[in-house]
A and B are shown apart, each in its own frame.
Chain A
């Protein structure tokens, strides 16, 4: 029989590798900047384009989709070709994928600081970019499946199953969480509102962690770890169990991000139950990885790539043990909205994603350049400074999380809040934030050292752009003879499309059970008669709140704890959010919750606080927003916004879009007059007037008929 000769495309792997390094440094530098802003407000640099609210999403998007995203494609393009014994389906598609993805990231770098954001965490990019992401993702899918179809290896190794599940699920998540009604080129409203929007967002958010930060990395782990260790995976059976149970269970767990909110209780319980079950497959995978190194621990001592892999797997184990614990209501009640969650996420991001990426880069770059790593010593330095960086990052954040979470809940013997001023709890943990920045800086130094090391490696050798290989064509090696050969899974392993459809069905089950009832059963979201749509001015103010990224530091959901109702007021009800496109519940309280802020302070207080937060709250770490006072509110958008809201079912009267600006002006004049009474001269057409109007409206509707409001349960 004749062996076919062909080549592997190493250039595309190298390109994704370089992009990983470049975006890694950029994303982590922005991360360090936002970390420093939290103890040194001057680091906001006095510009609206560099405030925490706008660039925190830039950090998360850059590290998730740029750093990790490019690393995924690097790992997939390298391993897929070799596991399938075929060059990538199309070099042109590979190039479109590469440059398309970089352009998407570039558009995020431009639009997020400009304030174009949907406000959904990790899905902040506006609708035109969402469409671009969809197109490029499909290009990736065609390229991947095209390669699978022209493969010369009969069976699909488990790593490829993880890649297929990643492709399918991310496609579903991205599409469902991007149902937006555009009102202009860079502005849209989510089709869902309030509780439903929250459920969709956290179904997406949680599974973005699962299927972007976890499954592709598990695929890479199952390929690269055996390669590095020179021995097969500990248990292939366990890897199969790991795969099916992980993709099945993960998809149900999203509601654990919404515990104690006004999400229906049964959905919360569902999220908790499945989150606890997640320990099993996650730890199965971690143990499988670590045991692959059985008998090879002597290699770990000498080989820096394996060191990175061991820490990555350990971090995966820690994060996936902690995740289910955090989803227990009792623990969540303390941890949620605090730095504990930030610590949890970064153990996964820095340890699991970061270290696995570094391990693969150190292993792969010298191989495709047919050379040795420039400096093993420098790689060793990277390993230790990176590990130290993770510790200096995580430990202070855990400390800060426990401290602040407990301070929020502490009462005096007389039954009063011990720390009624929220700011006191923020200031208490400032030293921890300083330490965290040091940890982040150490980690970044390691990445810079790695980049230098790999750049030297690449510059000192020549890329083997087209690596020769040979294999027999698939048609020659398939012999359907044995009965065992017809076993359904073995058939499935050879039928990638059927495999994809089965994966799709499995991930859809959880999502549907979770979401259908909340969308279809009226009683899950009891309506409240006194809750009315926002006025035109408030709606504009709300969009400014979204533009400035206030949601990154302020939640809008009061949980039913005495410590919260004492501090903020009545706990939040599902019916209060029915006109909120999108929901703005938030996930972190760097500042206090704002759901009951309406009417709590005067307009003048808000004005002074926005212009200079420290004038009203001495020591506040909130950046000043002087441009709100200077910039004119754009009211040309009012009519289209009202019409969009009407389309989405918000009951504004017919033809209101034409009258809305009249009402807007009347309300703005009223607010400006009120400010004037307090010796504040401001024109009524400034942005600050709209945002004050919105803040004063927040959470006030239910005060009209407090007694008749149905509870969340």
Chain B
């Protein structure tokens, strides 16, 4: 089943490079998500619910 992504006839470089790009990208997004502030998330997720009320300060 995995032969189709194993036998690449010289295309390994492309695949490995793209997988690396993908991994790096994913790690960056992952780190960013872990570092996100909980209060901020709370405020963001309430945006659609409270869009008929006047906006307020976000408490940092």
Contacts and interface: CB of A to CB of B under 8 A. Distances in A.
Given A226-B49, A265-B8, A487-B35, A236 B58 contact: no
A469 B41 CA distance: 25
Contact of A157 (B4, B10, B48): B48
A224 B11 CA distance: 44
Contacts of B43: 155
B21 to A, nearest CB: 6
Given A269-B8, A472-B54, A155 B44 contact: yes
A83 B9 contact: no
A309 interface: no
B26 A245 contact: yes
Contacts of B40: 484, 490
Interface in B2-59: 4-5, 8-12, 14-15, 17-19, 21-22, 25-26, 29-30, 32-33, 35-37, 40-41, 43-49, 51-52, 54-58
A158 interface: yes
Given A153-B55, A227-B49, A241-B33, A269 B11 contact: yes
A272 B58 CA distance: 44
Contacts of B57: 477, 479
A450 interface: no
Given A152-B55, A479-B57, A233 B25 contact: no
A593 B47 CA distance: 53
B55 A471 contact: yes
Contacts of B12: 266
Contact of B25 (A152, A248, A477, A481): A248
A157 B44 contact: yes
Given A265-B11, A269-B15, A329 B22 contact: no
Contacts of B15: 266, 269-270, 273
B48 to A, nearest CB: 5
Contacts, number: 129
A520 interface: no
B45 A269 contact: no
B33 A240 contact: yes
B44 to A, nearest CB: 5
Contacts of A490: 40
B25 A489 contact: no
Contacts of A328: 1, 4
B4 A237 contact: no
Contacts of A506: 25
A249 interface: yes
A508 B28 CA distance: 18
Contact of A159 (B4, B26, B48, B58): B48
Chain B interface mostly: helix
A330 interface: yes
Q: Which range contains the number of B residues in contact with the other chain?
A: 35 or more
Contacts of A517: 14
B55 A266 contact: no
A90 interface: no
Interface in A453-487: 469-472, 477, 479, 481-482, 484-485, 487
A226 B60 contact: no
Interface residues of A, number: 64
A481 B55 CA distance: 19
Contacts of B44: 155, 157-158, 236
A244 B51 CA distance: 25
A276 to B, nearest CB: 9
B33 A83 contact: no
Interface in A470-528: 470-472, 477, 479, 481-482, 484-485, 487-490, 506, 509-510, 513, 517
A154 B58 CA distance: 9
B45 A232 contact: yes
A230 interface: yes
Given A155-B43, A265-B9, A269-B15, A509 B21 contact: yes
Nearest to B40: A490
Given A3-B54, A265-B9, A270 B14 contact: yes
Contacts of A469: 52
Given A269-B11, A269-B15, A513-B14, A237 B48 contact: no
A487 B39 CA distance: 14
A74 to B, nearest CB: 16
Contacts of A471: 54-55
Contacts of A272: 4-5
Nearest to B51: A82
Contact of A233 (B4, B17, B45, B55): B45
Given A248-B25, A269-B4, A223 B14 contact: no
A82 B12 CA distance: 48
Contacts of A222: 48
B49 A237 contact: no
A155 B45 CA distance: 11
Nearest to B43: A155
Contact of A83 (B29, B37, B47): B47
A35 B29 CA distance: 45
A277 interface: yes
A54 interface: no
Interface string A221-255: 01110110011110011001100110011001000
A713 interface: yes
B26 to A, nearest CB: 7
Given A157-B47, A273-B19, A85 B11 contact: no
A155 B42 CA distance: 12
B55 A485 contact: no
A267 B4 CA distance: 11
A42 to B, nearest CB: 44
B54 to A, nearest CB: 5
A115 to B, nearest CB: 39
A264 interface: yes
Interface of A: 3, 79, 82-83, 85, 152-155, 157-159, 222-224, 226-227, 230-233, 236-237, 240-241, 244-245, 248-249, 252, 264-270, 272-274, 277, 328-330, 469-472, 477, 479, 481-482, 484-485, 487-490, 506, 509-510, 513, 517, 713
27 contacts: A82-B51, A155-B44, A159-B48, A226-B45, A231-B49, A236-B44, A237-B33, A240-B32, A248-B25, A249-B22, A252-B18, A266-B15, A267-B11, A267-B14, A269-B5, A269-B15, A270-B18, A274-B18, A328-B1, A330-B1, A472-B55, A479-B60, A482-B60, A487-B35, A488-B32, A489-B36, A513-B14
Given A237-B33, A273-B5, 13 more contacts: A154-B55, A154-B58, A155-B43, A226-B49, A241-B29, A241-B33, A252-B18, A266-B11, A272-B4, A330-B1, A477-B56, A506-B25, A513-B17
Considering the complex of A and B, which 6 residue pairs feature the smallest CB-CB distances, nearest first? A266-B11, A482-B60, A232-B45, A236-B45, A82-B51, A157-B47
